[in-house]
Amino acid sequence: MAKVGYARVSSVGQSLDVQLAKLKDCDKVFQEKRTGTTAERPEFKACMDYLREGDILVISRLDRLARSTLHLTQIADSLRQKKVELKVIDQAIDTTTPTGRLMFNMLSAIAEFETEIRKERQLDGIEAAKEKGVEFGRKAKLTPAQVEELKSRRAAGVLIKDLMAEYKLSKASVYRLLGESPTMLVD
């Protein structure tokens, strides 16, 4: 029976140190810096492949495994089929007991709810900012007058590569502004 740890942070700039300290008693620890919502988590996959009957998967918090109740439940089912237990340090969850399984399901639902509330608040904030006139996205490189000038110069036969150099734009940007799709012809 091995205690196998899994630690994850969402971005490269974050540190795994706190989680790794909590997992110091594990026999093996898998760690990665990837968002929980992405399907590609190679270290998590390696961890799941490594686990054997009788092992215990140890994590610091439930949200280190997944962002949705459905995904957490799928992971718990996979662990149960492998006869692997789950221990969550910060929430004192141990799926070897009925109470631990209840806590697991309740906290995973709460974690998903918090994520959805956070998304709603973010969307509300974006909407409020738009109502105040805040513009999102990259600022246009050309004024409407420059776009018209670019179009008339192209209509007059100026080559795409020359327009790119003159307006300091990529080929894709020039074609987008012209409302054309690039052709296989090179000019």
- pLDDT by residue, tens only, the chain of 187 residues: 899 999 998 877 788 999 999 999 999 999 998 776 666 889 999 999 999 999 999 999 888 887 677 788 788 889 989 999 999 999 888 887 888 878 877 877 787 788 789 889 999 999 999 999 988 888 888 899 999 999 999 999 999 999 999 999 999 999 999 987 555 444 4
In a domain, 169, yes or no: yes
In a domain, 22, yes or no: yes
Same domain, 122 and 150: no
DSSP label at residue 97: S
Same domain, 36 and 68: yes
Of 127, 152, 168, the position where a domain reaches its end is 127
Same domain, 42 and 81: yes
Q: Which domain holds residue 167?
A: 144-178
Q: What is the CB-side half-sphere exposure of residue 61 using CA atoms within 13 A?
A: 11
**CATH assignment of the domain containing 18:** 3.40.50.1390
34-37-40-43 Cα dihedral, nearest 10 degrees:
50
Paired tokens of 63: 């949200």
Give Cα 2 to chain centroid, integer Å: 30
36-42-44-45 Cα dihedral, nearest 10 degrees:
120
How far apart (Å, rounded) are the C-alpha atoms in residues 149 and 172? Answer: 17
Burial class of residue 30 in the structure, from the number of CB atoms within 10 Å of its CB (0-12 exposed, 13-18 middle, 19+ buried)? buried
Helices (H), the chain: 17-22, 42-50, 69-82, 98-131, 144-155, 160-167, 171-178
Same domain, 153 and 75: no
Could you confirm whether 15 is annotated as catalytic? Answer: no
Same domain, 123 and 152: no
Options 10, 60, 152, 170, the catalytic residue: 10
